[in-house]
Structure 1
Amino acid sequence: MQTIKEIQDEIIDEFSMFEDWEERYQYMIDLGKSLPLIAPEYKTESNIIKGCQSKVWVHAELNDDQIEFTADSDAIITKGIIAILIRVFSNQHPKDILDANTDFIDEIGLKEHLSPTRANGLVSMIKQIKMYAIAYQTQLN
């Protein structure tokens, strides 16, 4: 199993291959298209990320001491953003999620290339993922 840091480094390498942000946005859209979709029964109001301009649903389940995330969004760029976060944090131990930094987002230049509302949404997505990790970490202790 890859560590969060290894996955983040992989994403940094992938984004560095692109010449400009138009290509990076296209890559994010492609990542969003490959996102394993959240089951319809989890597309509920309680799974919507508050603070996002578009609708983003995130569901988490604890399996063998690791959190498995599924997600979806009604906006293609946002779907790409959540796909990146799911790739980094899914199938990781809650403590590792809580200890992880998210500097890779700045390293790939994502936050600076998002509108202020999308950047706020990104922060809200990370906050919700960490909240799931806190809840499951508490269960494990």
Structure 2
Amino acid sequence: MTTAIADILEGFEFLDDWEDRYRYVIELGRELAPLTEEERNEENRVHGCVSQVWLAKKIQSGADNGPILFYKGDSDAHIVRGLVAIVLAQYSGMSAKGILETNLEEIFGKIGLKEHLTPQRSNGLSSMVQRIKDDAAAALVQ
């Protein structure tokens, strides 16, 4: 996935209709690189999501802000896959410290997405973010 979070936010600014915004989210999900069957394992599965969601991580050593975390992700649901794409656009490639200091809720508030998600999808989104923050915290202490 090569779409930056700033580009995604800009894309939402041009879309007034929520049907168009949902289509945009689905399109973002289609840009995700597919996971291998080996990456679709229980360790990578995100618990707390109604849909199946997987986040595969790689950690590289970093500088003062701790290791850098890179993610690939996927879901079996189109809209959720788009949410995965947005989460990864924000967090993948960030330092562990940067991840812990970033509030994705604020970003979703800017585009108004959170209030347009079902409670189940909202819970799944929170589970994805919490998983990445837990990974970042664990990477800092290793």
Gaps of 5+ in 1: 1-6
**Higher helix fraction (1 or 2):** 1
The answer to whether the 8 A contact 1:57-1:73 is kept is: yes
The answer to whether the 8 A contact 2:35-2:74 is kept is: yes
- With structure 2 as the length reference, what TM-score do the two structures score? 0.88
Cα deviation 1:32-82 (Å, max 9, x = unaligned): 000122232110112111111100000111124311101110000000000
Amino acid at match of 1:25: Y
How many angstroms does 1:9 deviate by?
Answer: 4.1
Partner of residue 3, structure 1: none
**Partner of residue 119 from structure 2, selected from 116, 121, 125:** 116
How many angstroms does 1:94 deviate by?
Answer: 0.6
Partner of residue 81, structure 2: 79
Deviates more, 1:32-41 or 1:72-81: 32-41
Amino acid at match of 1:69: Y
Aligned residues: 133
Amino acid at match of 2:49: C
Runs of 4+ in structure 1 deviating by more than 3 angstroms, as ranges, are 7-10
Cα deviation 1:2-39 (Å, max 9, x = unaligned): xxxxx544432221110211111111111100012223
Aligned positions of 1:120-139 closer than 5 A: 120-139=123-142
**Partner of residue 107 from structure 2, selected from 101, 104, 108:** 104
Partner of residue 18, structure 2: 21
Give the distance between the partners of 1:104 and 1:10, measured in 2 at CA. Answer: 12
C-alpha RMSD of the superposition = 1.3
Amino acid at match of 2:100: L
Amino acid at match of 2:129: I
The answer to whether the 8 A contact 1:55-1:74 is kept is: yes
- With structure 1 as the length reference, what TM-score do the two structures score? 0.89
How many angstroms does 1:109 deviate by?
Answer: 0.9
Q: Tell me the secondary structure at the aligned position of residue 128 of structure 1.
A: helix
The answer to whether the 8 A contact 1:32-1:81 is kept is: yes
